[in-house]
Amino acid sequence: MQKLYIKTYGCQMNVYDSARMADLLVPLGMTPTDDPADADMVILNTCHIREKAAEKVYSELGRLKIVKQTRARAGKPTVIAVAGCVAQAEGEEIIARQPAVDIVVGPQSYARLPQMIAEIARKGGHALDTDFPAVAKFDSLPEAHGGVGVSAFLTVQEGCDKFCTYCVVPYTRGAEYSRPVKDVLDEAMRLYDEGAREITLLGQNVNAYRGEGPSGEWSLATLICALAKMKDLRLRYVTSHPRDMGDDLIEAHRDIAALMPYLHLPVQAGSDKILAAMNRGHKAADYLRLVERIRAARSDIALSGDFIVGFPGESDEDFRATVKLVEAVGYASAYSFKYSARPGTPAAAMAGHVPDAAKNARLQELQALLTRQQAAFNQACLGKTFSVLFERPGRKKNQAVGRSPYLQPVHVENAGHLIGRVADVVIEAVLPNSLKGALRQEVPICPNP
Ligand code: SAH
Ligand code: SF4
Ligand code: F3S
């Protein structure tokens, strides 16, 4: 038996990919471990989105090099692989910077991992694959092998054709690709059979999904309608681009109860000048109109977003426009980042880079506002009844922890028997990072859960 340690950075797609890599290595006799010192093989599944994310990988590799040396002294070899977006973006440079790395494998080449492992075992040295092969990634990856939680991810679309000027994703994940409908439905069925009662459909631009279906191309909305036929299955999708928010998807939010009323719809900035420089392809007013239409379709929908402060050329006035947009929308939660220049992206070569002090001040102000909005949103949940999907036991006896439709963790007493099921919960207290609730009615214990 060999032990496998995977550390995942970045977005949910990396979480999904890490699980697929683990599945791929099961036939090689590898079982997961949480301890890198115990691992015969270590995979870092990396993120290149901001400089800090990429640099973290090198400090981790420095630590792993020492682990590898210690293990070698005890006669135990260790294979270190770097996967994900840093692997794709930096390729051989990674091995030059950290020779303890044995394998560098980009997100489109995971299916080749077993071969690469065999190759270095046979010949020694390093193995590198950062091609975008003609064979579709998903056709060559194995199906999920157990370990599926109550809430599961399912990648339906990968890659991005939007080329926002700050972003590395179109380069690290390649062009937009949608998986065929049948493959998605089959995988959803398998996840369901293994106990998943919530599926989050993943894609870098998931709402640009255009999958080959039984009768022509399916949109994300068509796919959601089909998946919603599965009993007691909740659905989510992430991440969406405002430009791809089709009428049918907005209508799906109105018509499909299984589709959770929570939408991650990043806008990045509120100034039209900056939105144009970012190549986002829409203006602030377009986004606000879109939000209005979505809310008209589903009044209880909550929004989350992503923001970048200090994009090249961003003036104080531009930043004020971002603040104004956030005030106008009112987010239930949001991520905000300081602009980070990424090698090879158009924005990195733009004039007007904003000094770090100004970026810090803007980020602080924006985050304070977003935190106030999130607190207000959570506070407004007090006394409401939510359908909660229970995911795991709580710390206290017979307590269970679930998620509200808005992804807030909810702690509930006397709910230990409800893992994997949905129940109505009245929210009784708002805690800093979660909610506390009570079952509205006693739910009968299911004899065959
Ligand atoms: N596909 C998603 C975003 C993927 S990256 C989308 O289009 O919304 C996640 C977030 O990281 C982005 O929304 C953006 O806010 C942030 N981001 C991307 N590149 C960045 C950069 N160079 N500097 C700072 N933040 C960045
Ligand atoms: Fe990056 Fe823009 Fe594509 Fe999102 S839409 S992945 S931010 S290029
Ligand atoms: Fe990071 Fe790649 Fe995801 S750069 S955010 S891991 S697509």
Ligand that lies nearest to the alpha carbon of residue 268, given by its number in the listed order:
1
263 and 304 Cβ atoms separated by less than 8 Å: yes
Residue 43's Cα: distance from chain center in Å?
18
For domain 385-439, say whether CATH 2.40.10 is its number.
no
Residue nearest to atom 6 of ligand 3 (CA): 47
Report the residue among 88, 205, 274, 340 best suited for mutation to probe ligand 2: largest number of ligand atoms under 8 A from its CB: 205
Q: How remote is the CA of residue 10 from the centroid of ligand 3, in Å?
A: 5
Mean pLDDT calculated for residue range 419-434: 96
What is Dmax (Cα atoms) for the chain? 66
93 and 130 Cβ atoms separated by less than 8 Å: no
In the chain, CATH 2.40.50 sits at: 385-439
What are the pocket residues of ligand 3 if the criterion is a CB atom closer than 6 Å to any ligand atom? 10-11, 13-14, 47-49, 84-85, 168-169, 172-173
For domain 2-129, say whether CATH 3.40.640.10 is its number.
no
What are the pocket residues of ligand 1 if the criterion is a CB atom closer than 6 Å to any ligand atom? 49-50, 166-167, 169, 204-205, 239, 241, 266, 268, 306, 308, 337, 339-340, 342
Mean pLDDT calculated for residue range 88-92: 96
169 ligand 2 Cβ < 6 A: yes
Higher pLDDT, residue 166 or 432: 166
User: According to the model, what pLDDT value does residue 108 have?
Assistant: 94
343 and 54 Cβ atoms separated by less than 8 Å: no
408 and 378 Cβ atoms separated by less than 8 Å: yes
In the chain, CATH 3.40.50.12160 sits at: 2-129
Q: Which residue has the tokens 């800090």?
A: 52
Q: Taking the alpha carbons of 155, 159, 164, 167 in that order, is the dihedral positive or negative?
A: positive
Buried b (16+ CB within 10 A) or exposed e, 282-318: bebebbeebbeebbebbeebbbbbebbbbbbbbeeeb
164 ligand 2 Cβ < 6 A: yes
Radius of gyration, CA atoms only, the chain: 23
Using one digit for the tens of pLDDT, what is the confidence trace for 107-160? 999 999 999 999 999 999 999 999 887 667 888 787 766 678 999 999 999 999
Q: How remote is the CA of residue 13 from the centroid of ligand 2, in Å?
A: 14
Mean pLDDT calculated for residue range 191-214: 96
Provide the 10 A C-beta neighbour count for residue 364. 12
394 and 169 Cβ atoms separated by less than 8 Å: no
pLDDT band of 449, cuts 50, 70, 90: very low
How many Cα atoms occupy the beta-carbon half-sphere of 292 within 13 Å? 8
Q: Give the span between the Cα atoms of 386 and 373, in whole angstroms.
A: 20
Q: How remote is the CA of residue 49 from the centroid of ligand 3, in Å?
A: 6
Enter the pTM of the model: 0.95
Residue nearest to atom 3 of ligand 3 (CA): 11
Q: How remote is the CA of residue 446 from the centroid of ligand 3, in Å?
A: 40
Tokens of 179: 């998986």
Using one digit for the tens of pLDDT, what is the confidence trace for 8-38? 999 999 999 999 999 999 999 999 999 999 9
Using one digit for the tens of pLDDT, what is the confidence trace for 97-117? 999 999 999 999 999 999 999
The CATH architecture annotation of domain 146-260 reads: 2-Layer Sandwich (3.30)
Tokens of 329: 């929308």
Q: Give the span between the Cα atoms of 325 and 366, in whole angstroms.
A: 11
Using one digit for the tens of pLDDT, what is the confidence trace for 341-382? 999 999 999 999 999 999 999 999 999 999 999 999 999 999
